[in-house]
A = this chain, B = another copy of it.
Amino acid sequence: MKQAIGIFDSGVGGLTVFKAIRQAFPHQDLIYFGDTARVPYGPKSPNTIIEYSVQNARFLLQQGIKTLIVACNTSSSVAIPHLKKLSKIPIIGVIDPGSEIAVRSSKNKRIGVIGTEGTIRSMAYSKAIKRLEPTAEVFSLACPLFVPIVEEGWQDHPIALKIVQEYLKPMKDNDIDTLVLGCTHYPLLSHVIRKYLGDKVKLVDSADAISEHLTELMPVEDDGQLGKDSFFVSDNEDKFASIASRILGKDLDALKRVRLFESWFVD
């Protein structure tokens, strides 16, 4: 058995990251975990996001992975230092890869970042972008309704455009030329965002960013055998399987539900 790459996300959104990595590394075994029982992570406190991310990482580490990809932007923005304490394997979030592409593609160095409350509050993108390009001006904005709109399947509904306009007006006013889509759900709204901001604003997608980053770090090996996919979720297997087959363009052959041992206690 080959050692797999592990990927976790708060839900289904990270499947776009999974797909990009699968395309770049056809011979790697990949294991995906989606915490569909506790999605969304965006509105949760940093402590809770860290706690859940550590549980998810531990589960994947138990499967003997050789690299851990944190597809969830909210987890990536607060939990990476805590996850690095769990293991010596490479642990890679989406913040640095996305920030690198943003800095590289921006000409006027006026960069917008949109994400969940947790991601924006952490200022992780803003710090990473300024570390790479200290003269950059970063405009950050939480867009809490984007995830529910996508989950409801309303990305082509006229109301989606209204909500995009309402949130992104400050981005337009600030004359950004690059916008980081700092949540795995947001690429599903790209066409609406592009309609409002125009074609001149470059949209940066976590999935592209991280698979590009990974190809720089890891050799693309070909042992003649196609890599195996395994999927684990904490709830709603059927809903996950149906969304996954739409995103990945094929049915899942290995999907299992995982559960937690749980009991409440007061600190």
Q: Enumerate chain A interface residues (CB-CB to B < 8 A).
A: 37-38, 43-45, 47-48, 51, 55-56, 58-59, 144-145, 147-149, 151-152, 154, 157, 159, 162-163, 166, 232, 234-236, 256-267
Contact = CB atoms under 8 A, between A and B. Distances in A.
Contacts of A148: 144-145, 147-148
Nearest to A232: B266
A232 B266 CA distance: 9
Given A148-B144, A159-B163, A162-B159, A55 B235 contact: no
B264 A262 contact: no
Within the oligomer, what is the number of copies of this chain? 2
Given A148-B144, A151-B144, A166-B159, A235 B44 contact: yes
A46 to B, nearest CB: 10
Given A148-B144, A236-B45, A263 B58 contact: yes
A261 B147 CA distance: 29
Contact of A267 (B157, B163, B166, B258): B258
28 contacts: A43-B236, A45-B235, A48-B234, A48-B236, A51-B259, A55-B262, A55-B264, A59-B264, A144-B148, A144-B152, A145-B145, A145-B149, A145-B152, A148-B148, A159-B163, A159-B166, A162-B162, A232-B266, A256-B267, A257-B267, A258-B266, A259-B266, A260-B260, A260-B262, A260-B265, A261-B263, A261-B265, A262-B262
Given A234-B264, A258-B267, 14 more contacts: A37-B44, A43-B236, A44-B236, A45-B235, A58-B263, A58-B264, A59-B264, A145-B149, A159-B162, A159-B166, A232-B266, A256-B266, A259-B265, A259-B267
